[in-house]
Amino acid sequence: MRALDIITELNGARVENTASLAALYDAVPIGGEITLKVWRENRYIKIVYTKSVNDNRVAMNNIYIEAEQYDDKINRDTPKTNGCPDTTGSGWNLGNIQGGDWVVYKGLYFLGTPQSITVRASKDAGIANVSFWIGGRNAAEGGTLIATCQIPGLTNPQHPAYSPGAGGQAGWDTYFTFTSSAITVDMTGEQDLYMVFDTSVNINWFQFNPGGEPPEVPWDGPLYQKGDVNRNGNIDIGDARLVLQHLVGKIVLDAEQSELAKVNNGLTLTIADARLILQKLVDKIDKFPVDK
C-alpha cells in the first residue's frame, strides 16, 4: 500500500474514513481474505490478501526457526545439537552434519508464500548446498523443492568475509547470513519443512523472508461513473449539490466521492466541477473533460 492510496471498499463495504476502515478490518478473522478496492493515482485496483497475525497487509510468513529445534531427523547419529558461539540466536546450533543428512520441522503454518529464506550458518572450507523441501525430503518421498542455499566456507573466495588462512575452527566459529534462491512454489497452508544437506555445515537458525506487497490487479467490480458523487447510479442534481456543499464547507466528501467529483482536470475539486455536472445534467455537454 502506498501513501497516496485511497481505500474505498473492504470486502464490498464502503470505507467512509479511517475509523470505518479499522472497524471493517477488525471484523475479518485472522486468516480471512480481504479484498480492497483502492484508488491509486488514476485508476482503481484490486488488492487481495490474507489477514495475518502480526501484519495488517502481508501474509504472515516471516517464520523464524532455531535449526536445532527440529521435530525429527534421519535415523542415524548425526546431525547433533552443539553449543554455538554466534552472537545471534539461541546459543545452540545444528552441527556434525554429513552429506545425506536431513531434519524436519513439522506443522509450520504459512498464510502466504515467502520470498526466500535467510540462513545463519558457518563452514570452514568448500561449499555446502542446503535444500529446503515441503511434503517430503526429496521427490521420491513426495516432496517439492522450494529453495536452495549455498553456504561457502570461510576459506572459499565466495564467502563474504573470505579469509584464506582461517580454516578449521576459525571457519566453523564464524557465522554469516546467506540468502536462498527465490521461492516460487505456493507454500500457503500447513507444511512439514525438510532441510537436506549435501555435506558438512553448521546451521544456527533460519528465517523466511516476507513476500512483500500483495499483487495488484485492475478493479473488475462495479464502478461509479465520474460525476455520480452520491453514488446512486446516475448524474443528477444531488451530485452537483454535494460538490457545492463540500466547497463551502457544509459537508466533507469521502475519498471516493472526492475522486468521482473531479470531473474537470481530475486533480483538484473546484466550482468548475459542480458547473460541469450541471451542464452534463442538462445535456449541454456529453462528456466531462476528465473523460476525454
Q: Which residues bind Ca ion (CB under 5 A)?
A: 66, 89-90, 92, 204-205, 228, 230, 232, 236, 239
Q: Based on CB atoms, which residue is closest to Ca ion, 91 or 189?
A: 91
Q: Based on CB atoms, which residue is closest to Ca ion, 141 or 291?
A: 291
Q: How far is CA 251 from the centre of its chain?
A: 37
Question: Which grid cell sits at 134?
Answer: 515441503
Q: Based on CB atoms, which residue is closest to Ca ion, 192 or 236?
A: 236
CB of 86 to Ca ion, least distance (A): 8
CB of 195 to Ca ion, least distance (A): 13
State which H helix or E strand residue 279 sits in: helix 271-281
CB of 85 to Ca ion, least distance (A): 11
Task: Could you list the beta-strand ranges (E) of 84-165.
Answer: 92-95, 102-110, 116-122, 127-134, 144-152
CB of 224 to Ca ion, least distance (A): 8
CB of 228 to Ca ion, least distance (A): 4
Q: Based on CB atoms, which residue is closest to Ca ion, 1 or 285?
A: 285
CB of 250 to Ca ion, least distance (A): 18
Helices (H), 127-270: 169-172, 237-247, 255-261
Compute the distance between CA of residue 61 and CA of residue 108 in angstroms, rounded to an integer.
Answer: 10
CB atoms within 10 A of CB 32: 10
Taking alpha carbons only, the member of 226, 180, 227, 234 closest to residue 203 is 180
Q: Are 140 and 196 in contact (CB under 8 A)?
A: no
* C-alpha dist (Å) from residue 132 to 25, 94, 226: 34, 15, 51
Q: Based on CB atoms, which residue is closest to Ca ion, 26 or 72?
A: 72
Question: Which grid cell sits at 77?
Answer: 547419529
- Write the CB contacts of 73 (distance below 8 Å, at least 6 apart in sequence): 79, 101, 102, 103, 104
Q: Based on CB atoms, which residue is closest to Ca ion, 16 or 236?
A: 236
Q: Based on CB atoms, which residue is closest to Ca ion, 228 or 259?
A: 228
CB of 153 to Ca ion, least distance (A): 19
Helices (H), 64-211: 169-172
Q: Based on CB atoms, which residue is closest to Ca ion, 206 or 219?
A: 206
Q: Are strands 80-83 and 92-95 parallel, antiparallel or unpaired?
A: antiparallel
CB of 242 to Ca ion, least distance (A): 9
